Amino acid sequence: MEKEELFLRNKFLDLARNAYFKNIVTYSMFLNLNEQAIFETIQKDLPNIRYVMFGGYSEAERKIVCFYCDNIPEFDMLEYIKVSPVNKKFADELTHRDFLGALMNLGIERHMVGDICIADNTAHIITFKSMSETIISELTTVKHTKVVLERESADELKAVNRVEYKKINIPSERLDSIIGSIYNFSRSKVNLYIDAGKVFINSRQCFSHSSKIKSGDIITVRGLGRAKFLGISALSKKGRLFAETEIFK
């Protein structure tokens, strides 16, 4: 076991024990998919404590794990920040990498920031309240574009159109077929991603090329993005399936 993985496992156990013995709410930093997979492996070692994973909205990729004894916490430790160009007409075309890079340039560590949702050249950032003042007061430029920041609510984030609909034509509901159709990849290229451990179904790492995907499943391919499988909508005369998907921006 690598040192980083051992450290993370011990950190999870410490958080769980503190919540259990002190009857308090404890929570981790934002976890990427690999870190969430590590957490899955230690659940049997946890004390008799409740926990929930949440990233600020239902489809979040990066999540915190929160340990508690009684009632589910309100997640009032999270903050939602909207970052938009001061002048949209003259703004650069801004990407996820641009916004993330601007945050890292402020000295903010990646695990302090959750998902960064992009829509209409505007970013919707999820972070901890302890970091929000720093971001709002110090982030003034993204790429070469002056930006304005404001707090927003979880409901406002939910109202943002973060998805692009795509119809796909597949021979079956196998994982490799669906990924290939979504990203226009050959099956051999898809298999490279799966074998390298870069594919996750509902935040769980998957190495099975033939896994059957169900309606509502979220597929993440590291380096490519995320998509939700909405199910089969029609059947062709030759037996191929027409399916609906949502691609997250």
Q: Which residue do the tokens 């007061």 mark?
A: 137
Q: Are 94 and 84 in contact (CB under 8 A)?
A: no
Q: Which of 206, 246, 211 is nearest to 222 (CA)?
A: 206
Contact 145, 104 (CB under 8 A): no
**pLDDT recorded at residue 160:** 83
| Segments in the chain below pLDDT 50 | none
Which pLDDT belongs to residue 181? 95
The alpha carbon torsion through 198, 121, 243, 187 (nearest 10 deg) reads -30
CB count within 10 Å of CB 242 equals 13
**What's 39's DSSP letter?**
H
Q: What angle do CA 166, 125, 105 make, to 5 degrees?
A: 115
Strand ranges (E), 43-85: 50-54, 64-68, 78-85
Distance (Å) of CA 205 to CA 15, 195, 198: 23, 11, 7
| pTM attached to this predicted model | 0.84
Q: How many residues does the chain have?
A: 249
pLDDT of residue 145: 96
Closest listed residue to residue 15, CA positions, set 59, 61, 53: 53
The pLDDT value recorded for residue 220 is 94
Using an 8 Å Cβ cutoff, are 228 and 245 in contact?
yes
What pLDDT sits at residue 40? 87
